[in-house]
Structure 1
Amino acid sequence: MPQAKPRPNVVLILADNLGWGELGCYGGGAIRGAPTPRIDALAAQGTRFLNFNVESDCVPTRSALMTGRHPVRTGAMQSVPAGLPQGIIPWERTLAEAFSAQGYATAMYGKWHLGDKEGRYPKDKGFDEWYGIPRTTNETMFFNAVGFDPEVVEVPHVMEGRKGHPAEKRELYDLEMRRRIDENLTQRSCNFIGSHAGKTPFFLYVPLTQLHFPTIPHRDFEGRTGKGDFADSLVEMDARVGQILDAVEDHGIAGNTVFIFASDNGPEYRRPWRGSAGIWAGTYHTAMEGALRVPLIVRWPGKVPAGRQTNEIVHVVDLFPTLARIAGLEVPTDRPIDGVDQSALLLGQAEKSAREGFVYYIKTELRAAKWRDWKMHFVWEVEPNAGPNHLETPYVFNVVQDPKEETDVNTTQGWVRGPIRHMVNNFQASLKAHPPIPPGAPDDYTPSYDMAAIPNPNARGGGTP
């Protein structure tokens, strides 16, 4: 009898606040003072997605990635300080839990940002082991802040946890540790690959901390480019990705490993660490194209076409059902799943995306909807905190003809308002039928859904009458 094909390993690296215009293979690199040869080579060996879309910032994107659901459904919509209810509730089923249920070894090394108490840590949500931070990197600046009082604010730590055991605090997460953490995450990732290569299929999730502010590099990379801390940090990130790639190669498993590199949202906007969205306008925390559209590169030798690029729409929620199809995982059927299976597009079996568009919320407010080549803005805010302008007549932009979103085409291309409105109405009907989990819901909160009705409004054809 023929032997069953071995299940593929999956390595998923998620950069933090890496804009579309930073990497060499997306038009940045040397232009940004920071060549990125390892990630550029990865793009040449796999498929580069030019229209990969995410949520507005760190928490909602990570929630969408882990659940395949838009964060307006999960209640995980924003970063909040330590000690306040946050993240996804235990009822949510994560991508890591789906891998674990199929016998995969699972590990996460990096930034979680989806819960900071027992029951909500990564080791409670499908990962066999975790080392990293429960919240975010700007907490490293607390120690040097004027009047900082550790008696009233939880002191940030790097943490470690294993499934079935309490998480433990390790190093203080101060500015010096901020410089060192990605080195630690990378080393642990390489060790994990070595311990499982050729033995057990594995899912390795590495949400790095670069390029989140404060964007400062490891001391070994300090001054490397001569272009400042931001460029040095970008070079460090490229090198860390290269180290993980080398571990996959050195252990002879590249041919059976799906290697994914992506970013969680558009570029950092806080000066002096301002990032770049390339040809697009805007940064994260907005509905501009520079917030939505970020790098995604996938390599799987012999399966994912090499040297290919596609401008078809893909959304971060699609990664769950797509990886489920590839790895033989089960997608939950007792709740709305917004992601669609993009394996045919990924494997070169289809030229078109399985979706035509998606809705875009910031917290609970519908800000925009993107469909084919167009985007409709219901609320206009180009810079974070500039003040949202709720539009009586929504703007419509053709983002192929007008990547900066400067020329409203309501008059000349107004026909697109129909299918966009249908897509929005379908999604809102789904929210009504399946009420969202409220932010800050307790651990024992359990939604009650009738799954009889509403199809995924984001799937191809979902926006049409």
Structure 2
Amino acid sequence: VSPDDQKQLTRWATDGATRFIRSQAGKHPFFLYLAHSMPHVPLFCRDEFKGKSGAGLYGDVMMEIDWSVGEVMTALRESGVERDTIVLLSSDNGPWEEFGNHAGKTPFREHKATSFEGGVRSALVVKYPRELKPGTVNDRAFSSIDLHPTLAALTGAPLQEKETDGRNVWPLMRDDAGAENPHRHYFVSTGWDLEAVMTSDGKWKLHLPHRYRDVVHPGHDGERGETRSATIEESLFNLFDDPLEQRNLIAGHPDIANELREAGVRYLKRFSTRSK
């Protein structure tokens, strides 16, 4: 794909999505998965967005993605299905910080491809006018693995007979009084190795000893920066009080650390070919 082609990727994906919506709306229920290439590096945007954000190329790219979301919402509204359509907007990971100004930024520790909050904590925006009040803020914790069974439950679609890791978390999304997470724990890995276990309420997180890639000098304008191998010892963090994962509390809470450690062992025995 040439650079000129890559400038058009967001528009092409958006045009395809809106055509699909207009062709399906009013006929039967539909599922649309719109996975933009941007803002993954290398970054490109159309000329009409270049230099318009005042926040560099990354900002211009995000400005075009914002335009894309608007086009999708317009297509839903003009097709008469906006009220009955569930729209979810999210990301699969945090910023790739070694690309510097082409990567975005969060206040959390570390970045994409690590098990720290900077790598795995992402916002989720949900719009469903039939059931959700606009402007509601919800800080409940759940995982992207829960989206599939949640949407299946909402739409009445049967799940396959094979066991699904995720669970229906719609009561949590709706912030129902008394709603509890159907999971006890969530597990974080970057590749084959389990690196962290957290309680499903999002409070406690145990990092198992592992190596990760730390950014020494961020890159600039698409050039990759310098990284080094770093290690973390077994560490327990209270994410409610310490979302930046700075204060290791493992010495003061051995019972919580042991619970999460044992949950990790059970997980590995069940799912990993490398468990011992």
Say which of 17, 20, 23 aligns to 1:195. Answer: 23
Secondary structure at 1:369 match in 2: strand
Query: 2:118 aligned to 283, 287, 290, which one?
Result: 290
Of 237, 252, 264 in structure 2, the residue corresponding to residue 424 of structure 1 is 264
1:385-464 alignment, distance < 5 Å: 386-389=228-231, 391=233, 394-431=234-271
Q: TM-score, normalised by structure 1?
A: 0.53
> Structure 2 counterpart of 1:186, which letter?
T
> Structure 1: which 5+ runs fail to align?
1-172, 437-465
Partners of 1:352 and 1:226 lie apart in 2 by 43
Cα distance in 1 for partners of 2:135, 2:181 equals 18
Instruction: Answer yes or no: is 1:210 the counterpart of 2:50.
Output: no
Match of residue 252, structure 1, among 58, 65, 80: 80
The answer for the alignment partner of 2:54 in structure 1 is 226
The correspondence of residues 6-85 of structure 1 with structure 2, limited to 5 A, is: none
Gaps of 5+ in 2: 216-226
Counterpart Cα distance in 1 of 2:180 and 2:136:
14
Tell whether 2:128 aligns with 1:276: no
Amino acid at match of 1:337: T
Mapped pair 1:383 → 2:214: yes
Partner deviation per Cα, 1:4-54 (whole Å, 9 max, x = no partner) = xxxxxxxxxxxxxxxxxxxxxxxxxxxxxxxxxxxxxxxxxxxxxxxxxxx
In the TM superposition, residue 187 of structure 1 has moved relative to its aligned partner by 0.9
Matched AA of 1:358: Y
**Aligned with 1:201: secondary structure?**
coil
Does structure 1 residue 373 correspond to structure 2 residue 203? yes
- 1:136 match: none
Q: Go from structure 1 to structure 2 and tell me whether the alpha carbon gap of 1:245 and 1:290 turns closer, same or farther (over 3 Å shift).
A: same
Give the deviation of 1:256 after TM superposition.
0.8
**SS of 1:408's equivalent?**
coil
Q: Is the 8 A contact 1:312 1:352 kept in 2?
A: no
**Aligned position for 1:346:** 173
What is the aligned partner in structure 2 of residue 456 from structure 1? none
Q: Do 1:215 and 1:229's aligned partners in 2 also have CA atoms closer than 8 Å?
A: yes
Q: Deviations over 1:289-335 (max 9, x none)?
A: 0111112111111213432222221111101111110111122223x
More strand by share: 1
Deviations 1:409-458 (A, max 9, x none): 112233311321232122123126xx59xxxxxxxxxxxxxxxxxxxxxx
Candidates 142, 146, 154, aligned match of 1:318? 146
The percent identity for this pair of structures is: 24
Report Cα offsets for 1:88-137 as digits up to 9, x if no partner.
Answer: xxxxxxxxxxxxxxxxxxxxxxxxxxxxxxxxxxxxxxxxxxxxxxxxxx
8 Å contact 1:313–1:356 — kept in the other structure?
Answer: no
Asked if 1 retains the 8 angstrom alpha-carbon contact of 2:7 and 2:44, the reply is yes
Deviations 1:368-416 (A, max 9, x none): 112241211112536265314263xx11111221122111011223331
Deviation at 1:365, TM superposition (A): 0.9
Q: Which residue of 2 aligns with 1:453?
A: none
Query: Residues 345 and 353 of structure 1 are in contact (CA less than 8 Å); yes or no, is this contact kept in structure 2?
Result: yes
The answer to whether the 8 Å contact 2:149/2:159 transfers is: yes
Provide closer, same or farther for how the CA distance between residues 369 and 210 of structure 1 changes in structure 2, counting only shifts above 3 A: same
Deviation at 1:268, TM superposition (A): 2.6
**What do you get for the CA RMSD once the two structures are aligned?**
1.9
Matches of 2:164 and 2:230, distance apart in 1: 29
Question: Normalization by structure 2: what TM-score?
Answer: 0.87
1:366, distance to aligned residue in structure 2 (A): 1.2
Change (3 A) 1:397 1:380: farther
Task: Tell me the residue number matched to 1:43.
Answer: none
**What SS does structure 1 have at the residue aligned with 2:67?**
helix
Contact preservation (8 Å) 2:206, 2:261: no
SS at match of 2:31: strand
Query: Aligned partners of 1:312, 1:418: CA distance in 2, in Å?
Result: 24
Question: Using the alignment, how far apart are the partners of 1:296 and 1:369 within structure 2?
Answer: 21
